Structure 1
Amino acid sequence: HDENLQRVLPTLTDAGLKLNMHKCKFNQPSLNGHTISKDGLQPDQDKVTAVIHAPAPHDTSSLRSFLGLASWYSKFIPDFATVIEPLRAVLRDSTDLSFEWTTEAHSSFTSFKDLIVNSPALALYDPELPTYVKIKMRELSLLHQELFFSAERKYSTVEREALACVWAVERWRTYLWGRRFVLRTDHQALTTLLTSKGSGRAGLRIARWSARLLCFTYDVTYRPGNQNVTADCLSRLPLTAENEATEEPDMIAAVFKESLCAISLPEFTSASEICPELSLLRNQIEKGWPKCKKGLPENLAPYFQIQHELSVHGSLILRLTDRLVVPASLRARIVDLAHEGHQGIRLRELFWWPQLDKFVHSVIASCVNCQFSDKVVITAPWDCRYAIVFTDYYSKWPEVAFSSTVTTDVIRFLATVLSREGNPMYLVSDNGCQFTSHAFSTFLQHLKSSVYYPKANGVVKRFNRVLKECIQTCERSHSSWKQMYIEVFSFTFNSTPHLSTGYSPYFLAHGREPRLPANVHISSPKVSDCPQNYGSELATRMDAAFETVLLHHEEQKQKREYYYNKDTQFRPYACGDLVWIDDPTTQRQKLSPNWTGPFKVVSVDEKGLLYKLVDVKYPQAATRVIHYDRLK
């Protein structure tokens, strides 16, 4: 205790930290309800006395309080989960209004008191001795500490045995991480299933549990149940001889790889001692750093910026409190070990050396398996790949939403717009799977445009072109406010008069022009204070705008028809004609055909623009509805 204290206090002084003496306690044999002595760890006698005189719980609140105290001392109680189960059953069956104290619960209550009074002392952990984890799975509990959940009780015996092993190792990871230990079980199948030999034989559930043990270095051994009598963490009996004060070394994160052995603490320490770079670094830390790095050796220059984060612990060097500085001889091996689990640059949570990220990135970039399984690079802004656009054909008012998926987000977006604006007379969409799914058909009935004919929904396609230009501009400017950029763009678009209507979408939707930033210092137009008069004025403006919009639409329609028919000869097909289809789904190569078919015309709409076709070669196939422009 005194030796550890003499190392801690100077370290705090060097770091410029101060301690409040009124909050500090030294040479205390009791801590957090436990008594620490040469014999080991025992419950505090004052707490034990409080448990002995504790009255039986009379409601759920007092029962929860007692269970919390009991759980705190669970490590001293053999078969704790089974002993305390009747109390937990009372808590599960009770409510705030009904509380039934059963005979079994009272027996469990008194049994716990007897066991805590006669509880053994737990020997202090000695890292210099071999470590054994001895597993004994009970029918209803995990190592006497935790009960199996109802679903876990349905597992097979081998699965419950494997779960007990994983639970025990993770519970005692503080003692096991970074050093080799022996996992001893009375279930012989686990000697294969929890090692690299059984990686291809274990079921998916045991394989997932085995993956959780990859960061530990262990050997699995089998001992029959009649010989595995000490399979409990409480079996650490007090040592007869006095424990000499030993310095517990810092634990190293041992990263597992099936084909290679994990790096042990002695190996890491030895490599740190003989590493020339770390030897210079240790000497520099001990004698102090200069004010500038001009006179430092070249290989110590990267450490100058983090000099206050480095500390020496024996032969090891730590950055902050939990990252080991790795010697040059082990860097490639550590990255190789960690990369076997394909965890990318998470290695820096455990280790550090100069240019660590660059080193790891180069390893990942050269790994063929990582490149095959890596996530697809998302090129759309703020990780949203899709833009959902809803446009009013009359006012040209657009609604835009961005999403990473287009399955249920389309329905949610339309429900939001329609609940605010009301239902349209009809709704037109393309033939995307999100609009033809069963979920969408149950949401609403709508019209679908011709396949691979964007002109059929030209208003939306034209706006998408402008929206795309806006997003490209946003990308080029590297704006960090991309969502706000799009919202500003939408407001600007809605405030600009549209060529086909002569009015801005905002005016046709609200009956007035928007108040722009340039209008802040200009007085607003006067409006009637009477709601009825304002309503009449608004209706007059909207009626006049409606007539003007119809005229503009008709003029634009005639102009488009003139230019379209100028060089086009319209020759509609009749039922029974054989036609060819321009199919953009075929791979267009130099020698590949541009047309597929032939197809037979089954029916024609009244305008002669949409044709229902059937494949001549495969008449049993589904019919297609194709626009005139894609036929010949």
Structure 2
Amino acid sequence: MADHDIFKTAFRTHNGHYEFVVMPFGLTNAPATFQTLMNNLFKPYIRQFILVFFDDILIYSQSMSDHVVHVSKALQVLADNNLFAKLSKCEFGVSQIEYLGHVISSQGVTTDPHKIDSMVNWPIPKTVKELRGFLGLTGYYRKFIKDYSTIAKPLTELTRKNAFKWNTLAQQSFENLKKAMTEAPVLVLPDYSKRFVIETDASALGMGAVLMQDNKPIAYLSKSLGVKNQGLSTYEKELLALLTAVKKWRHYLIGQPFVIKTDQISLKHLLEQKVHTALQHKSLCVLLGLDYTIEYKKGKENKAADALSRVQGQNWHMELSTADLTVVSEILPSWIQELTQSYTGDSWIDELKQKAALNSNDPNPLYTYHHGVLRFKGRICIGNNGTWRQQVLQSLHDTSIGGHSGINATYHKVKKLFFWPQLKQSVHDYVIACHTCQINKGEHVPYPGLLQPLPIPPTAWYSVGLDFITGLPKSQGKDVILVIIDRLTKYGHFLSLTHPYTAANVAQLFLDNVYKLHGIPQNLVSDRDPIFTSLFWKELMNKIGIQLNLSTAYHPQSDGQTERLNQCVEQYLRCMAFEQQKKWMKWLPLAITLPSNSPWV
């Protein structure tokens, strides 16, 4: 206890007046204070090989030799801070452990049999409080029970105000829930050498999903739809179910190819569809950077997700952090083995390993070496042996994520994740030698003289730039792109049109994609295209209250920001649709990430 807080713990007994000099149980802030202490002490090791929940310390390792080292480090931290572990409450070197009400083993994660016995022997509730106690205990394990909300629905309805009346339906639900708890399956551990499969489905009132490998469940998810989302179309509900599942299990999916199975066949062509709604924009942002394939599966074959989607009532979520269990149960991915091969015979790597070993007790070390992966300031170090560096450059330059960006943009993307000596020179040499870039990119030289830039807008979507990209080959019936860019954040919309188009067509796109999503801008910067100089356009902008700023005739530098973005979009589409130029519409939705991912735009 802090000296100035000791008097607050005073209490009187028949033997006299006493005060606590160490933190006792029962104080309001005691749990949070103790958890903060444990987190700070074990900060260098948490989620590396240690998990801490109050006084429960879990140490996990890949091998017994590593485990001995990890246990020694944990005990040393306790000894250095005058904390003590009771030997009778400790277990060492076990392959199965009870932790936070779960049994964790090499087979997977399952329920604690002692907790299940308590549920099975639970007496019939006589009051709402007793019923809530039973539902609270069973609800902790609902991630193991398919259709938990459906089974428990008659009981949850009795918890409403003045609704408690035990009947036959409630008794049947009570018994079925006990039975379901005794039959809870083992949720298998994720194996990163195998492909993940997500099955999703949505119904009128809810949505559900199952994460699987080899047709064995890793996790269930079921969520009811609110009043707002119940009014969505079937397509939008299915898309919402897909997004919810991907966001929930994203930590499993990053860097891994996976399959999404849905009974909405139109979602197979998600990347090729026109982007009209905010939900579609959101879906592309969530899925961007993930290696996924969407497959169609008939509803009658998609039984697990279909059943979960029909759950009504409270949401079914994992009460215990899935990320924590992932760390405990993580199987060493195959890419780590390939990465460690690049370290073979590299003297630079050997030198850094020695530095990492010397700094192992540093709370914020520059170098770390864990599970065979060497990191510098959190970035993965790649050795000179093998083709790993080439693969990284190819992935962050040649793919849709890289978009054949320039040297600086590619360098910043690689630099965020990886590190090796002379990284910038490696990126420079790779981009300069890229055959696709040499064919499709133009030459940029500094403009002579001093330019007078437009004033910087004070807020996002205060000032907007508009322009057209024309002369494109027809793709899905479209041959024009309307570019709309926020001049402060550089966030843009790229909307397809068919020539000939009218000012009314452009105005409708502007209202749907700017006014609805971002509000009314204060001014609009554009060139002197006939659309923007037409009487209709001027009157419309005047009625809405937007000031028109037209650039100087035959002087595109007046709106250089929009013109430069046009070049980037054209360059991106040329590179990505290089072999099939009439399929540029497939890549247009992904071009929205260019401004935010490229520091030079």
Q: TM-score range by the shorter chain?
A: 0.3 to 0.5
Larger relative contact order, structure 1 or 2 (CA cutoff 8 Å, min sep 6): 2
Greater Rg, structure 1 or structure 2? 1
Provide the TM-score with structure 2 as the length reference: 0.44
